[in-house]
Structures are given as structure tokens and as C-alpha cells.
Amino acid sequence: MAEYTTPITTTFEMQRQAIKQGQNAVEQGVEFQQTVSEAFVDSLGSQESAQRRTVELSKTAFHSYLDAIESTMPGAAGSVEEIREAVDEQFEFLLENHAELFGNIEEETREGLDAYDELTADYLDAMDEQIEMVLDAHEDLEGQSIEAAEQVEDQVEQMQDQVEQVQDQVQEVQEQAQESLEA
């Protein structure tokens, strides 16, 4: 009976494999997105550090400029020192705000990623459940299809048997008729 059911079984197996491959592709896509997001959050520390160094270099350059003014303008030391203190306060304020900003960005980004991870985990769980239901229904349909094919095969075999019986009867009648004619 496998003569009629093998193509059905093969087709259903190929369909199940395609469904599972689609499921794997979605899961890999989510994992890739999570990896990219984590890389982005991890890069925030490097960005903060690079920007902090740039601010500190600007501060150093400004101090060098003030040093140059102080050395070329005798008697300006008091004014330059006041400017230096004001500049240092502004740079400290800038660096504090900078650190706070990046701390907030990282915290908010991590919270967003955690929420995204929870959402995608729920999505993947729901997808897994739905695919499992689809595969169960698919297997049921396969069983019904095989059963129907086997019934058709049985009916074809019965018809072949009946055709053979009719052919035997026809041949027997022909032989009897031939014998009657010869007698």
C-alpha cells in the first residue's frame, strides 16, 4: 500500500521541515537583533570614554592657552587664575552632566532592551505553541490523507479484482460459446 502513500508522506514531511525552518529563521532573527542591541549598549561605554577624553583634551588645550596668555602678559596672573577657575568649574559641570547623561542613556537603553527581550520571549513562546498546534494538525491531516489514499487503493484493488472476475467470466462464456459452435 506504500505505493500510493509514499508521495503523501514525503510531501507532508517536506512541509513540516519548511515550517520548522521558518520557525528557526524567526528565532535566529530575534537572536541577531538581541546581539546587535547588546553590542550597541556595550559600545555606549566606549563612546562615553571617547567623548570624555575629547572634553578633557579641550580643557587641557584651554589651560595651555591660558598659560600662554599668562606667560606673555605680565600682571595678568590674577585675572587668568579667575578665568582658569571659572573654566574648570564649567568643565567639571560639563563632565558631570556628560557622565549623568550617559548613565541615563545606558540605564534607559538596558531597560528598553530588557522589555524587548521579555516581549520577544513571549512572542517566541506563543509562536512555538502555535507552530506546535499547526504541526499536530498537520500530522492529523497527513494521517487522514494516508487513510484516504489507502481506501482509494483498496477500492482500486477491489475494482481490479472485479474486472479480472468479469474478464474470467467473459472468457469462460466465450469458451463455452466456442465449444457450442464447434459441437
For residue 177, being part of any structural domain is answered with: no
* Number of structural domains in the chain: 1
Please report, as a single letter, which amino acid is at residue 78: G
Q: Provide mean pLDDT across the span 58-83.
A: 88
Which residue spans within the chain are E strands per DSSP? Answer: none
Q: Which amino acid is at 158?
A: Q
Q: Determine the average pLDDT of the residues in 101-108.
A: 92
The overall average pLDDT reported for the chain is: 90
What pTM, to 2 d.p., does this model score? Answer: 0.65
Helix (H, G, I), strand (E, B) or coil at 104: helix
Cell numbers at 18, concatenated: 519548511
Task: Specify the pLDDT at position 4.
Answer: 62
Q: Residue 180: what pLDDT? A: 83
Q: Would you place residue 2 in the very low, low, confident or very high pLDDT band (cuts 50, 70, 90)?
A: low
Residue 178 lies in a domain: no
Burial of 156 (0-12, 13-18, 19+ CB in 10 A): exposed
Q: What is the mean pLDDT of residues 86-111?
A: 93
Residues with Cβ within 8 Å of 70's Cβ and at least 6 positions away in sequence, in order, are: 76, 77, 80
Residue 87 covered by a domain: yes
Q: Which pLDDT belongs to residue 17?
A: 95
User: Domain residues for 34?
Assistant: 4-172
Q: Look at residue 182 and tell me if it is in a domain.
A: no
Give percent of the chain with pLDDT exceeding 70.
97
Q: Is the pLDDT of residue 168 over 70?
A: yes
CA 154, 157, 161, 163 dihedral sign is: positive
38-43-49 Cα angle (round to 5): 150
Residue 105, in any domain of the structure: yes
Give me the phi and psi of 76, to 5 degrees please: -95, 5
In a domain, 180, yes or no: no
Question: Is 117 within the bounds of a domain?
Answer: yes
Q: Distance (Å, rounded) from C-alpha 145 to C-alpha 63? A: 85
pLDDT classification of 3: cutoffs 50, 70, 90: low
183 within some domain: no
